Structure 1
């Protein structure tokens, strides 16, 4: 059974503007894949449907074989705890420390304080920021802020991690470092879906690629095809 499945999903906005059209694909447990395409192809809309920031106009989005159309009310917050999100613009709380930013999802979930401290410090060490836990976001470089965002998305051990243009503001060296962090996550049981327009980076990673073109699935490229 796939972790995530799109069955004939379309999303239309008033105007009318069709952001996604008849999209069908599935994602396995612990899979890392990319979603790419031109600006406005529907990458961000696709991620928002999984995170329940948006609802489809037609079709079904299923996680663990459960139709997200049935997830309503307070169940939405429970769903979002299982789906981590890394934003391009970090969305860190500037008046809180690095530690407090990363701890936030655990505190919201009611995790015991001793467990919070342990998990936050393990995660900060993993992203190379163990020594910066007391710093405020404004004291960090763009790459460090992005790593805080990744740590915050990962600390609650989600089944699925969504990353929307996570390397868009980074230089190539930092972008490669961030991608290596993502590449290590499937081994820990987290599936990772990365929306990116950086085709050179995507090709270098040699993972499955979904190509969107004006909201349609134009191609589903296997790692083997990328390597050839």
Structure 2
């Protein structure tokens, strides 16, 4: 579902964010990207979403070579990728419902179908009762759940998250990670960038470890008995 082949990314400043990175993530697999601040975790995710392009190498997502994707094809590509950010990026002047509905409205989904999908997504993250609320009235953890509902409302085959628990306490962080694991169980490919090594260890999932833009470990936990 996601393949990096000898991918490097050098910014105009001369900084090499990624160097000769190669890995594959199967459909329906969940993995973490770990590493120190500045290791290249966010850059890796940005390349998957075509928010950046690699300097060298090839990135393939859902069978599509991103190097061959023209600018006009980027919106279509992103409809197949749910994105969750640490800072939520919610529209504070819109209701919870409208925030989650936004990707569907952009895609031209019928109004009745939007209502069904939005409420199903909010129910999945435990916020169905707050659909009419303004995001500012929600806790930080609830706002993050709204961001997750928005990311999965279009049922994308790929879900990426950049430090989604960075602003949350340990209990809320564990709940958010459990949500991501549930999406994997229904076939979504999930890739999460996180520096929380203790939480990652408890999840018992594959971990790609970056150090100064290079893959130094690809840890695959032994199967549980």
- What is the TM-score when the length of structure 2 is the normalising length? 0.98
Partner of 1:5: 3
SS at match of 1:20: strand
SS at match of 1:106: helix
Partner of 1:43: 41
The partner residue of 1:209 within 194, 207, 210 is 207
Q: How does 1:60-79 map to 2 (within 5 A)?
A: 60-79=58-77
CA RMSD of aligned residues (A): 1.0
Gaps of 5+ in 2: none
Which contiguous aligned blocks of 4+ residues in structure 1 show a shift greater than 3 angstroms? none
CA positional deviation for 1:98: 0.2
In 2, Cα distance between equivalents of 1:39 and 1:197:
8
CA positional deviation for 1:105: 0.3
Gaps of 5+ in 1: none
SS at match of 1:9: strand
Q: How does 1:1-228 map to 2 (within 5 A)?
A: 3-224=1-222
CA positional deviation for 1:74: 2.1
Give per-residue Cα distances to partners, 1:116-159, cap 9 Å, x unaligned. 00010011011000110011110000000000000000001011
In 2, Cα distance between equivalents of 1:49 and 1:98:
29
SS at match of 1:223: coil
In 1, Cα distance between equivalents of 2:199 and 2:168:
12
SS at match of 2:45: helix
SS at match of 1:25: strand
In 2, Cα distance between equivalents of 1:29 and 1:56:
22
Give per-residue Cα distances to partners, 1:28-50, cap 9 Å, x unaligned. 00101000000000000000000
In 2, Cα distance between equivalents of 1:161 and 1:88:
14
* Number of equivalenced pairs: 224
CA positional deviation for 1:65: 2.9
In 1, Cα distance between equivalents of 2:64 and 2:119:
33
In 2, Cα distance between equivalents of 1:127 and 1:16:
41
- What is the TM-score when the length of structure 1 is the normalising length? 0.96
